[in-house]
C-alpha cells in the first residue's frame, strides 16, 4: 500500500476482497483509512490497477448480491455516479466501518 497522508491512519487492512471490474473479479486486499478506501490487487492478476476512493466522495454504500443471489457484495456509488463493487466476507461489518469512517471524516472536514 502506498504511503499514508498527513493525519491519515489505518482503520483496517488486509481484508480479502475481489473487485468486480466489468466481467472480471480482480483479487486483492482492501484497506480502510480515516480518509479513503484502497483496493490493492494481487500481483497475479491480469489487471493490476489500484483503486482508491476518497470517503468524502462516496454518495452511497450498500449491500449487493453477487449474481443477484449471493449475499457477499458491497456496492459503493460515488458522487460522480461511478459505481464500484467488491466481494467480501463479513460485509455488514465492513460497511459499518466505512460509514463510521466517512461520518468521522465529514465531521472533521466541516
**pTM of the model as a whole:** 0.84
For the ranges 6-15, 71-80, 99-108, the lowest mean pLDDT is seen at 99-108
3 domain-assigned: no
Model confidence over 16-66: pLDDT tens digits?
A: 998 887 767 788 999 999 999 999 887 776 666 778 999 999 999 999 998
Q: Is the residue at 73 inside a domain?
A: yes
Is residue 1 in a domain?
no
Average pLDDT, the chain: 86
Q: What range does the domain containing 36 cover?
A: 10-109
The whole-number pLDDT of residue 103 equals 83
Count the domains in the chain: 1
CATH number at residue 70: 2.30.29.30
Do 47 and 41 meet the contact criterion of CB atoms below 8 Å apart? yes
Amino acid at each position: 500500500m502506498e504511503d499514508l497522508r498527513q493525519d491519515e491512519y489505518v482503520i483496517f487492512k488486509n481484508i480479502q476482497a475481489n473487485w468486480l471490474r466489468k466481467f472480471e473479479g480482480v483479487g486483492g486486499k482492501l484497506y480502510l483509512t480515516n480518509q479513503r478506501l484502497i483496493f490493492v490487487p494481487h500481483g497475479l492478476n491480469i489487471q493490476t490497477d489500484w483503486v482508491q476512493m476518497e470517503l468524502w466522495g462516496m454518495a452511497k454504500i450498500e449491500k449487493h448480491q453477487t449474481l443477484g443471489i449471493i449475499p457477499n457484495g458491497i456496492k459503493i456509488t460515488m458522487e460522480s455516479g461511478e459505481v464500484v463493487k467488491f466481494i467480501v466476507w463479513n460485509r455488514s461489518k465492513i460497511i459499518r466501518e466505512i460509514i463510521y469512517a466517512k461520518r468521522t471524516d465529514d465531521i472533521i472536514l466541516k
